[in-house]
Amino acid sequence: MSLTVLMNAGPWLSVPPPGYGGIENVVATLVPELRRLGVRVVLASVGSSTLPVDERVSVFPDGQFAALQRPYNQVCGISQAHLSGVVRELHARDDIDLVHDHVEAVGLATLAAMGPDAPAVLHTLHWDLAKHPALYGNLDGGDRVRVNGVSASQLARAPQALRDHSVGHVHLSTPLAVGADRRPTPVKGDHVVILGRINPGKGQDVGARLAHRAGFRLVLAGPVGPYHRPEDLTAAGDEARQNPDARFFLDEVAPYVDGDRVRWLGTVAGQERDDLLAGARASLFPLRWEEPGGTAVVESLALGTPVVATARGCLPELVEHGRTGLLTADEEELGDLVREASLVDPAECRREAALRFTPEVMAQRYVALYEHVRRTAAAR
């Protein structure tokens, strides 16, 4: 197939990301499979990205993730500068068949406003948008813009303007799912893990409280705002409190962190992350938000670790209660479910991941959407 896609991963982190990274992880997983399927990929991201692609477009030499903590207007400025670079590139050439955009409303509106010369756009939603209808208020030029979600539940909650442009959803994937059904069951330790950004929506405070009450060992892995290591947060002192996630951690989670029953490791990456997850007896998601896509959920399944979670957002789409994990509407029940997680067969989790959550499954679905979007978007 001869299709050239400009993949916009945004200005925040390099692709693949050094540790934590949502959108950047998705792009790093998707692109190699697309290229195997014959798609040419032009990557718009930061200069420090190392993902092999056919061409690159960069405005910033390094990631601007730390700038996310700045006032919103500055964040928009960075985003706009990145987008101007993308749009300049699009104006300068005519071989781009489609833009696969992962960034946000600013990007979408800019691309849509390019006029009839703009290529078709498929925009992937990465967030829970129910509370942010204004972000996507203006889809001018929307004839060429189509939208996909990362779960059915995310799309169902999205503002009407987005649903009007929707072409369905594509679940997230992980390279760990490849051959997961052929791997042996890992030796399980006695710890439970919460993998993800430390954030009220992810509910580490709930998990930490339940760990003390129900008596299980809990390991928290993930960044606290811009702080990737516990010593960095300590060194920041009071200044850290300017960041809302750091405030949440210091006030709601840290009181439970005793280094024994509950530990915070900071960001873990690579083999360390995989070993931590594979060795856990359960992967806990005490969610307080509607999890839109849940990469960490499919990673847990791929590594043979049962998921114990509040049944919010995409969780019921990814996890089958009783077979690959345990779900509840009541967060107070999570402590009991952690105890029962040993009843879930890790081999069943791995089989499910190998069937549903490989990069190949995701890429095939995106190629079908690219073709659909090109067919249905207004003629150039």
Binding piece for ligand UDP, criterion CB under 6 A, among 45-53, 101-109, 114-122, 191-199: 191-199
- Using only C-alpha atoms, the chain has a radius of gyration, in whole angstroms, of 21
- Using Cβ positions, the residue closest to ligand UDP within the complex turns out to be 22
DSSP-assigned states of every residue in 41-79:
EEEEE-TT-----SEEEES-SS--GGGGGS-HHHHHHHH
Nearest distance in Å: CB 229, ligand UDP? 11
Which 21-40 positions form the footprint of ligand UDP (CB under 6 A)?
21-22, 25
| String marking each residue 214-253 x if it binds ligand UDP according to CB under 6 A | -------xx-------------------------------
Phi, psi for residue 140 in degrees, rounded to 5:
-55, 145
Contact with ligand UDP (CB under 6 A) among 268, 287, 341, 362 = 268
Q: Which is nearer to ligand UDP, 82 or 273 (CB)?
A: 273
Nearest distance in Å: CB 291, ligand UDP? 7
The Cα-based distances of 10 to 16, 146, 155 in angstroms read: 12, 18, 22
Distance CA 193, CA 190 (A): 10
3 state SS of 101: strand
Q: Which is nearer to ligand UDP, 110 or 324 (CB)?
A: 324
Q: Which is nearer to ligand UDP, 149 or 222 (CB)?
A: 222
Q: Which is nearer to ligand UDP, 20 or 136 (CB)?
A: 20
Contact with ligand UDP (CB under 6 A) among 119, 175, 196, 335 = 196
Distance CA 228, CA 28 (A): 21
Query: What H or E segment, with its residue span, contains residue 343?
Result: none
Check residue 294 for interaction with ligand UDP (CB under 6 A).
yes
The Cα-based distances of 96 to 6, 102, 109, 120, 305 in angstroms read: 6, 16, 18, 9, 41
Q: Which is nearer to ligand UDP, 291 or 348 (CB)?
A: 291
Q: 97, 98, 96, 159: which is closest to 125 by C-alpha?
A: 159
Contact with ligand UDP (CB under 6 A) among 157, 209, 273, 281 = 273
3 state SS of 137: coil
Tell me the number of residues near ligand UDP by CB under 6 A.
19
Q: Which is nearer to ligand UDP, 141 or 359 (CB)?
A: 359
Binding piece for ligand UDP, criterion CB under 6 A, among 14-22, 45-53, 235-243, 364-372: 14-22
Check residue 293 for interaction with ligand UDP (CB under 6 A).
yes
Distance CA 4, CA 88 (A): 17
Check residue 296 for interaction with ligand UDP (CB under 6 A).
yes
3 state SS of 40: strand
Q: b/e string for 122-133 if b means 16 or more Cβ within 10 A?
A: bbbbbbbbeeee
Check residue 98 for interaction with ligand UDP (CB under 6 A).
no
Distance CA 297, CA 58 (A): 31
Residues found near ligand UDP in the complex (CB under 6 A): 19-22, 25, 195-197, 221-222, 267-269, 273, 293-296, 299
